[in-house]
Amino acid sequence: MSQPVAEQVEARVAPRPRAWLLGFLYAAVFLVGGCYLPYLPVWLHWRDLNADQISILLATAPLARIVFTPAISFAADQAGGRRPAAGHQPHSSGRGGAIIPPS
């Protein structure tokens, strides 16, 4: 006999052990960035950079992200070798349910 619907839903929404690890990783990354980023322009000014140089330096990371993220995504799509996102989970259909249509 199959499981009751309530148990099936509970099994799908149960937190995974790796989710906590990923949460702590994000907290650590944003904590470090939040601690040094407000003082970085002050430190750069102390290192004798003017406002134009500081603004260019601080704008390079977001601009690089804007340029390189689509380029790397395009290269990954062209390379192939995709794996199913939810194929390793025993309760999934391997296609992500209704999100990804069957091929």
Q: How confident is the model at residue 16 (pLDDT cuts 50, 70, 90)?
A: low
Q: Whose structure tokens read 């990923």?
A: 22
The domain locations on the chain are: 35-77
pLDDT score of 84: 64
Give the CA dihedral 22, 72, 93, 11, nearest 10 degrees: 10
DSSP for the chain, please give it: -PPPHHHHHHHHHSPPHHHHHHHHHHHHHHHHHHHHGGGHHHHHHHTT--HHHHHHHHHHHHHHHHHHHHHHHHHHHHH-----SSTT-TTS-SSTTTTS---
d(CA 41, CA 54): 7
Q: Whose structure tokens read 């989710």?
A: 19
Q: How confident is the model at residue 10 (pLDDT cuts 50, 70, 90)?
A: low
- Considering 64-68, 94-98, 99-103, the range whose residues carry the highest mean pLDDT is 64-68
pLDDT score of 82: 72
pLDDT score of 17: 72
Mean pLDDT over the full length of the chain: 79
Between 5 and 66, name the one with better pLDDT.
66
